[in-house]
Structure 1
Amino acid sequence: MIRTQKNPLTALKIFNEAKSKFPNYRHNGPVYATMINVLGSSGRIAEMREVIDQMKQDSCECKDSFNCVNWTGSFNTLLRILVKESKLETACRLFLEHSCGWEVKSRIGSLNLLMDALCQINRSDLALHVFQEMRLNEATHLLYSMFWRISQKGGGEDIAAYRTLLDALCDNGHVEEALEILGKVLKKGLKAPKRCRGHLDLSYCCNGEDIERTKGLINEALIRGGVPSMASYSAMAIDLYSERKIGEANQVLDEMRDRGFKPSLSIYEAKIAALCRCGGVEEAVKVIKEEMVEDSCVPTVRLYNIVLKGLCREGKSAFAVGYLEKMARQVGCVADKETYSILVDGLCCDGRFVEASGILERMLIRSSSPGVETYNTLIRGLCLMGRQYDAVIWLEEMVVQGKLPAVSVWDSLVASVCSNMTEAGVCSETLEKLWSS
């Protein structure tokens, strides 16, 4: 009867009045599918959504295949109709709003259908948008599923995961959803007391105009709204430093100090790495000399290596060499292979090839060996300085260690020897030995 109606609204009226006229009657799967097909084919999207919502509310007690509502089948049918009618934006919106619900058992078929249609008309922007929204939906559902595990003890160490999801939601314009999730995170995830949650003023976030300020307020709420713990402070600070948000991360450190916590070594490593990446090497050195001393935090080889990289990156390799002596005076802090490699490469980049040779000698004494490119750079640099003998000695050492010099190294040696014939005899003898070996 529904299928034979020429007017889709007449068919919908018959569909809606069926239950009132026949109290014992209930719509089954084929009836819902027919009604959706009729409305979709005629472009009645709003009415079609109402029927879908009614399907969700309606339940089916019989377990035979005829009278059970096939939610997945109906969803795929509706999606195919929209794709066929070239209403792809509506299809995308429908997919994102309903594909993650419990009603749709599998979304692989519908996703493939949608992606194929979008790619055929060169709408890669819509396809990427669908994938991005899917990731956010899945992340949100994963977060909710985490609450049962952490609700017993709180999850301060998971604060970085909370922040990542909330930031992503804000960046994609879902500010209201982010605030809703924040409330659940504070209550169930971070076990924040009611008095802490009540003091948070997030009214500014609701307009969603300044996304960065909104994210900053959310970060502040995560820190101040939860139960103070070393795990939560560390996770938040390290996460912010890794994103080079040094100002916000420093606020976290101030907050944790006010609460009686001292920054850990991992926090200082993250802070110094962020400062070095942002060109603040001098401030990083100051952190080691002052902040870490005040907090009784002893630098490690790993932390020194971070500073050395920053110094060498800014052309301060000569100053960086001084840290070798500081490390030697510190108990249990022995320079490793990475330390020497950083210094040798940095000195070579600054044209200090003689000093680099000295550091390389100290490195070999400790039974460590640099990479091939370090040897190549050093030998070429010594040749440019006219120190052919030193260059040949390092070439010999390189070959002894089984490393193959680059062609440019041989070119540099030949050019250097030819330009300075006073050492040509000694160098040629050494080169002949290398060739014969």
Structure 2
Amino acid sequence: MATVVRWPRVLTPSRLAQLIRQQKDPADALRLFEDAPLRYSSYRHNSLVYSAALDSLLSVDPVPVPAVAALLSHLALRDSCPAPDPLFARAIGALYEDPSTALHLFLRLLPRSNAHTWSLSFDALLRLLLSRGHLTLALGLLARCAGRREVQFGAPSLNLIVAALCRAGRPAAALQAFASFKDLCCNPDRDTYRTLMRGLCKAGHLDDAIHLLRSMLWRISQKGCDADVVVYRTLVEALHRHGRITEAEEILAKVLKKGLRSPKRRQTFCGPVLEGMTTEEAKKVIDESLVVRGIKSMASYKAMLGDLYAEGRLDHAQQMFDEMIQSGFRPTVSIFEDKINALCREGRADDSAIVLEKEMMERDCVPTVNTYNLVMEGLCKDGKSMRAVEYLARMEKQVGCVSQKDTFLILISGLCAECRYIEAAKILERMLRMRYRPNRDVFNSIIRGLCSIGRRYEAVLWLEEMVSHGKIPELDIWTSLASIVLFDDSMGTLFLELMEDVHDTG
């Protein structure tokens, strides 16, 4: 049944966008979008209305590809309002299951629109193709768009290509792409060098890696860059691992004298000795040399700790963390989040909660939504979802920390995994009050779980809510609830009405 909307006497695009976002059922939202120009002869859609309509369509699971394509086709070919690049980028990024349609939007519709730049859409399509393993298509897209004024290549595009080629075991091609991007006036960033250096070292192309480091040192010889320690350590550790100890010592000495700004240390410098050390001993010496004997800065500590936590070297990371505190530096939120992430990967969710509750408080570091999400996800994976729920209330009490859609999805998934379906339903109710739209799988999990514990009445109510959002339940949901008709006439009547509504909308 369609929602009845009270149309205003004068309709503005901002008012229509608000009405569209208020609709539970995306079909109702699209109906408002289509009816508005017919009701008001002088009314014209703008990009704000198209954005609201697109968001409503993208909330459907699975994404209605024909409807999305039709909406953007109307924007590009029939409407005179500007076609914003972020709108196409959002649509392309959501079409993960249909890369051919994403290619059609970029190659056919976007050139016929009045969009002046395509850079965000290009990055979204490149990311989609590479995530689906279509490396050849991605390289073809790159070649096709090279030189077009609408597409400005930036470091994110370069990093995506370099990372994909390194993952595919083609570091030589990654090095060639690196050189080609520089010809297109696209300057690499730290992530570019870091990814390429790791790819070359992993493939054993150490001579190319040394040449890359020398070019990097030449680029920064005038100003230095403290956070580049993570790039330097990759090469030095690889050289030591392959038995090229002398070269490792020479490069480490050169990095300490030239790559890091340390005028005082250049006058009385004595490079570290790596000969005779095991791999783990050498790693520790290299890390300490780059940060402690190099330049003690927040950037170098942050970069090094991020790498150590990612590698799971928690003990060494803690030693460097303590060294950072003793040197007078205040840890950032991102450092604590890296630590929490590492602890959760090790199955130490309780320790990650201590980081949030105690360590961050002691350092006057305010947690973010992402910090809470990481801890809650770790607790849910450890089967402690009820403790994770407690952090939701804590978030709501913190000023400026508003729970996001991912927060609720983490909790619902964890509660359902522990068969706490009543508590999961309560979290879903709070999620809906925040006007976040759950996907069909969330509704299915709640309804299926309530049926399994005999809470049929609540299951039917959630089924009604699900249908009102325009989502059709799976077949086993209907089978689980069909028995209600035999035992409860009133609930059976409601159940049959819901089936009729689904039949009508389908």
With normalisation by structure 2, the TM-score equals: 0.56
Indicate which of 350, 360, 364 corresponds to 1:292. Answer: 360
Decide whether aligned partners of structure 1 residues 221 and 390 sit closer, same or farther in structure 2, where only a CA change above 3 A counts.
same
Indicate which of 469, 474, 495 corresponds to 1:428. Answer: 495
CA deviation after TM superposition for structure 1 residue 138, in Å: 2.3
Question: In the alignment, what sits opposite 2:260?
Answer: 190
Question: In the alignment, what sits opposite 1:246?
Answer: 314
Decide whether aligned partners of structure 1 residues 131 and 436 sit closer, same or farther in structure 2, where only a CA change above 3 A counts.
closer
CA distance in structure 1 between the aligned counterparts of 2:252 and 2:476, rounded to whole angstroms: 59
CA distance in structure 2 between the aligned counterparts of 1:276 and 1:419, rounded to whole angstroms: 47
**CA deviation map 1:190-229 (0-9, x unaligned):** 13456589687844x3125x21221122111112111211
Decide whether aligned partners of structure 1 residues 130 and 367 sit closer, same or farther in structure 2, where only a CA change above 3 A counts.
closer
Q: Does structure 1 residue 141 correspond to structure 2 residue 211?
A: yes
Question: In the alignment, what sits opposite 1:152?
Answer: 222
Decide whether aligned partners of structure 1 residues 199 and 405 sit closer, same or farther in structure 2, where only a CA change above 3 A counts.
farther
CA distance in structure 1 between the aligned counterparts of 2:243 and 2:421, rounded to whole angstroms: 54
Between the two proteins, the alignment pairs up a number of residues equal to 306
CA distance in structure 1 between the aligned counterparts of 2:407 and 2:201, rounded to whole angstroms: 46
Indicate which of 252, 255, 276 corresponds to 1:207. Answer: 276
Report matched runs for 1:88-99 at 5 Å.
none
Question: In the alignment, what sits opposite 2:17?
Answer: none
**CA deviation map 1:100-124 (0-9, x unaligned):** xxxxxxxxxxxxxxxxxxxxxxxxx
Decide whether aligned partners of structure 1 residues 250 and 244 sit closer, same or farther in structure 2, where only a CA change above 3 A counts.
same
Indicate which of 441, 457, 464 corresponds to 1:373. Answer: 441
Decide whether aligned partners of structure 1 residues 315 and 229 sit closer, same or farther in structure 2, where only a CA change above 3 A counts.
same
CA distance in structure 2 between the aligned counterparts of 1:390 and 1:309, rounded to whole angstroms: 27
Question: Structure with the greater relative contact order (CA < 8 A, sep ≥ 6): 1 or 2?
Answer: 2
Question: In the alignment, what sits opposite 2:380?
Answer: 312
CA distance in structure 2 between the aligned counterparts of 1:197 and 1:378, rounded to whole angstroms: 68
Question: In the alignment, what sits opposite 2:393?
Answer: 325
Q: Could you tell me which amino acid in structure 2 is paired with residue 309 of structure 1?
A: E
**1:417–1:423 Cα contact (<8 Å) kept:** no
What residue ranges of structure 2 are gaps of 5+ in the alignment?
1-198
Question: In the alignment, what sits opposite 1:90?
Answer: none
Q: Could you tell me which amino acid in structure 1 is paired with residue 318 of structure 2?
A: N
Q: Could you tell me which amino acid in structure 1 is paired with residue 203 of structure 2?
A: Q
Which is worse superposed, 231-240 or 391-400? 391-400
Decide whether aligned partners of structure 1 residues 314 and 266 sit closer, same or farther in structure 2, where only a CA change above 3 A counts.
same
Q: Does structure 1 residue 132 correspond to structure 2 residue 203?
A: yes
CA distance in structure 1 between the aligned counterparts of 2:383 and 2:486, rounded to whole angstroms: 30
CA distance in structure 2 between the aligned counterparts of 1:412 and 1:199, rounded to whole angstroms: 76
Q: Could you tell me which amino acid in structure 1 is paired with residue 301 of structure 2?
A: Y
Report matched runs for 1:254-403 at 5 Å.
254-403=322-471
CA deviation after TM superposition for structure 1 residue 269, in Å: 0.9
- RMSD over aligned Cα atoms: 2.7
Decide whether aligned partners of structure 1 residues 164 and 129 sit closer, same or farther in structure 2, where only a CA change above 3 A counts.
closer
CA deviation after TM superposition for structure 1 residue 325, in Å: 1.2
If you compute each CA radius of gyration, which structure gives the higher value, 1 or 2?
Answer: 1
Give aligned-pair identity as a percent. 47
Decide whether aligned partners of structure 1 residues 245 and 404 sit closer, same or farther in structure 2, where only a CA change above 3 A counts.
farther
What SS class does the counterpart of residue 207 from structure 1 fall into? coil
CA distance in structure 2 between the aligned counterparts of 1:156 and 1:129, rounded to whole angstroms: 22
Decide whether aligned partners of structure 1 residues 166 and 398 sit closer, same or farther in structure 2, where only a CA change above 3 A counts.
farther
What residue ranges of structure 1 are gaps of 5+ in the alignment?
1-127
CA distance in structure 1 between the aligned counterparts of 2:201 and 2:366, rounded to whole angstroms: 48
**CA deviation map 1:43-73 (0-9, x unaligned):** xxxxxxxxxxxxxxxxxxxxxxxxxxxxxxx
With normalisation by structure 1, the TM-score equals: 0.64
Decide whether aligned partners of structure 1 residues 266 and 129 sit closer, same or farther in structure 2, where only a CA change above 3 A counts.
closer
Decide whether aligned partners of structure 1 residues 229 and 184 sit closer, same or farther in structure 2, where only a CA change above 3 A counts.
same
CA distance in structure 2 between the aligned counterparts of 1:141 and 1:428, rounded to whole angstroms: 71
**2:200–2:209 Cα contact (<8 Å) kept:** no
Report matched runs for 1:67-82 at 5 Å.
none
CA distance in structure 1 between the aligned counterparts of 2:267 and 2:326, rounded to whole angstroms: 19
Decide whether aligned partners of structure 1 residues 176 and 417 sit closer, same or farther in structure 2, where only a CA change above 3 A counts.
farther
Q: Could you tell me which amino acid in structure 2 is paired with residue 428 of structure 1?
A: F
CA deviation after TM superposition for structure 1 residue 187, in Å: 1.0
**CA deviation map 1:263-309 (0-9, x unaligned):** 11111111111111111111111112221112110001111000010
